[in-house]
C-alpha cells in the first residue's frame, strides 16, 4: 500500500503535505545523522522557506529558485522514530511558523 492515510485526512481539509529528505538522504548532500544540530537546522530552514524567510532551489546549481507562495506559513510536523526526533528538535528552536507537533 503506497498511500499515506494522513494525506487522505488533511488534503480535503485544505492542508498541503510536504515531504522533505533529510541531510544525507536521497539527493541531498552531507552526512545523515539523527537529531543533531545540522539535521534540525535543515528542517528549520524548510519552515523558514515556507514563511518566506529563506530561499530554496530546484537543485544544487542554485539556478532556479522555488517559492512557497502557496503556503500560509503555518506548519505542523508529525512522525515517529526519526521524524518524531526531528519534530521534537524543531520545537526546541522556537522557529516562527511551527504551530503543532
Tell me the pLDDT of the chain (101 aa) as tens digits: 456 677 788 778 878 888 887 777 777 777 777 778 888 999 999 999 999 999 999 888 999 999 999 999 989 888 888 878 889 999 999 999 998 88
Q: How many angstroms separate the Cα of 92 from the Cα of each of 41, 59, 82, 85? A: 11, 29, 16, 11
pTM flag (> 0.85):
no
Instruction: Label residue 38 left, alpha or beta by phi (over 0 means left) and psi (-120 to 50 means alpha).
Output: alpha
Amino acid at each position: 500500500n503506497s498511500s499515506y492515510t494522513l494525506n487522505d485526512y488533511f488534503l480535503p481539509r485544505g492542508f498541503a503535505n510536504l515531504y522533505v529528505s533529510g541531510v544525507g538522504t536521497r539527493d541531498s548532500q552531507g552526512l545523515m545523522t539523527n537529531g543533531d544540530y545540522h539535521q534540525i537546522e535543515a528542517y528549520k530552514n524548510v519552515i523558514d522557506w515556507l514563511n518566506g524567510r529563506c530561499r530554496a532551489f530546484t537543485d544544487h546549481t542554485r539556478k532556479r529558485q522555488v517559492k512557497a507562495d502557496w503556503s500560509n506559513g503555518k506548519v505542523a510536523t508529525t512522525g515517529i522514530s526519526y521524524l518524531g526526533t526531528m519534530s521534537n528538535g524543531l520545537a526546541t528552536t522556537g522557529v516562527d511558523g511551527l504551530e503543532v507537533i
